[in-house]
């Protein structure tokens, strides 16, 4: 059940396609290498922080019109401030990315003894979001053990096409610029907006 809408169930009408996203395939067609060295997991925190800071989760906040909302049985969301015939939604995958980026920034702030302005309740919300996201999107891939506590390193795996989702989000862009951790859904809209999500794999 969708929280806040106890009688609403968001249906996936055909498991071959992502719900609500114009036929984006659920098929795993893109081969990725898991846990390979990258800027995101660099032992050099300056390099890692720069990579994480380029992620623009606001790319996943889209503007959908009334017809699209009705056809996909979506709950109403708030009206776009500059396009009153459209409503703003955040794609769930980008919501999860938002949580990861915020939790990482909080961890780094604690590790470096820096102040942190966001409330503890948001961290608890994000832990719950990520747990529910994983349990709802089950991945039963067996990962091999490579070291005492490592698993799946450099494993090649077929994944869904993230770039296709990013492209779809761009086509339905709300023009929303969100910079962690100081952004909020109250703005800014269309100010300094940069296309793309900045994610690299």
Please give the average per-residue pLDDT across 2-19, as a whole number. Answer: 41
* Beta-bridge partners for 89: 62
Q: Is the pLDDT of residue 152 over 60?
A: yes
Label residue 181 by pLDDT band (50, 70, 90): very low
Q: Is the pLDDT of residue 78 over 70?
A: yes
């Amino acid at each position: 059940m969708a929280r806040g809408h106890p009688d609403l169930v968001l249906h996936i009408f055909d498991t071959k396609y992502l719900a609500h996203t114009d036929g984006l395939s659920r098929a795993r067609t893109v081969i990725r290498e898991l846990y390979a060295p990258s800027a995101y997991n660099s032992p050099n925190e300056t390099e890692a922080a720069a990579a994480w800071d380029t992620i623009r989760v606001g790319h996943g906040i889209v503007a959908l019109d009334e017809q699209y909302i009705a056809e996909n049985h979506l709950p109403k969301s708030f009206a776009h401030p500059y396009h009153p015939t459209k409503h703003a939604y955040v794609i769930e995958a980008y919501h999860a990315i938002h949580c990861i980026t915020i939790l990482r920034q909080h961890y780094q702030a604690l590790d470096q003894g820096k102040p942190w302005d966001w409330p503890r309740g948001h961290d608890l919300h994000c832990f719950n979001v990520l747990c529910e996201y994983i349990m709802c999107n089950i991945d039963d891939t067996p990962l091999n053990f490579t070291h005492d506590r490592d698993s799946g390193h450099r494993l090649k795996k077929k994944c869904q096409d993230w770039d296709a989702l990013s492209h779809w989000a761009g086509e339905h862009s709300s023009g929303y610029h969100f910079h962690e951790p100081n952004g909020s859904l109250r703005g800014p809209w269309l100010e300094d907006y940069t296309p793309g999500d900045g994610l690299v794999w």
